[in-house]
A and B are shown apart, each in its own frame.
Chain A
Amino acid sequence: MFTWKALEAGAAKVIAVEPDPANLECLRRNFQEGDCGRVRGAGRRGRVEQAGKMTLNLGNGSNTGVNSMVEKESDKSIAVPVTTLDQLVKDLGLAKVNFIKMDIEGAEREALAGALETLKKDRPRLMLDLNHRTDDSTALPAVIRRAHADYRAICGPCQMNEHGVAELVPHVIYFE
């Protein structure tokens, strides 16, 4: 859905990263025609702090969007090759990264830590889900500001903290 939105908004190239093989097949089918070669799948790779292999915990069957490298909803898991965003940018020869959208079920801070070079160099705008780990609302801005101390946070729609903490947090937060 977000890949479509990015294309509709005029993105020259969209890199979609999907570690779950079944979701990846969906992605391939959804973009095999008529997208003018502007979508590039990064295959079965997660985005983390260091390259290697990691365990992807699969969701409990109710939602394919809840597979996570941090949270565990079921006993099912698979090993997936992972890389950093900085390495991915190098591998794909991307001259500039303008925008990063990330909703990766709690692994955001590790993925951002693996993207510091890109954040420093290109200062892309960011759209992040901020409600996976209890301290996301403070931890993620801290990582981002290691790249640029003046990255400005813009609050998106708010919701209750999903981890039993009585607080209202932005579901999505933008940085620019």
Chain B
Amino acid sequence: MRRLSPLVLWAAFGLAGYFFVLPHLLTNGWAAYMKMTDKAEQCSWANTLTFYSSLDKFDKLYTKYREGLKTAEVDEAASLKRLEAPGARSFWAQQRRRGGGLWCAH
């Protein structure tokens, strides 16, 4: 097998660092700074140091359910719609609101 040149290896490490490591470092580093300067008193160290992962997890869940939502039924008289989401039971939400009705059963 042909060996990768050092330049390609450095570029691969650089890209991985830029896209995967740097966001964690910057975001968690900032959160740790907030904690150390008493601007995150209620947040535990564990949650502070995983701040980026926590935001990322929520964002992915939100995107997954938002993208999978589809309207299955509309009740114009009541201004409600029934929505279906992958892997979840369907639910009724207010029709006049935007945002896919994710908050109806809030």
Instruction: Name A residues whose Cβ lies closer than 8 Å to a Cβ of B.
Output: 1-4, 22-23, 25-27, 29-30, 59, 61-66, 103, 130, 137, 153, 155-159, 166-170, 173
Q: Which residues of A contact B41 (CB under 8 A)?
A: 137, 167
Number of interface residues of B (CB under 8 A): 34
Knowing A62-B99, A157-B54 are in contact, say whether A168-B80 is a contact too (CB < 8 A).
no
Q: Of the 9-residue stretches B5-13, B16-24, B44-52, which lies at the interface with chain A?
A: B44-52
Query: Provided the pairs A1-B106, A65-B103, A155-B47 are in contact, do residues A26 and B42 lie with their beta carbons within 8 angstroms?
Result: no
**Interface pair A29/B39, CB less than 8 Å apart:** no
Most buried by A among B39, B43, B79, B89: B43
Q: Choose from A4, A22, A63, A158 the contact partner of B40 (Cβ within 8 Å).
A: A158
Main secondary structure on A side of the interface with B: mixed
Counting chain A CB atoms within 10 Å of each CB, which of B42, B48, B51, B94 scores highest? B42
- Which residues of chain A have C-beta atoms less than 8 A from B96's C-beta? 61
Interface of B is mostly: loop
Q: Is the CB of B80 within 8 A of A137?
A: no
Q: Which of B54, B82, B92, B99 is A158 in contact with, Cβ under 8 Å?
A: B54
Query: How close is B56's CB to chain A, nearest CB, in angstroms?
Result: 11
In the assembled complex, the Cα of A66 lies from the Cα of B94 at a distance in Å of 13
Question: With the chains together, A4 CA to B104 CA distance in Å?
Answer: 13
Evaluate whether A155 and B99 lie within 8 angstroms (CB atoms) in the complex, with A23-B94, A26-B105 already known.
no
B10 to chain A, nearest CB (A): 35
A63 to B89 Cα, complex, angstroms: 21
Which of B31, B55, B96, B104 has the most chain A CB within a 10 Å cutoff? B104
Contact A65 B106 (CB under 8 A): yes
Q: List 19 A-B contacts (CB under 8 A).
A: A1-B102, A1-B105, A2-B106, A22-B94, A23-B106, A27-B105, A30-B105, A62-B97, A63-B97, A63-B103, A64-B94, A137-B41, A153-B42, A155-B43, A155-B44, A157-B54, A158-B54, A168-B40, A169-B42
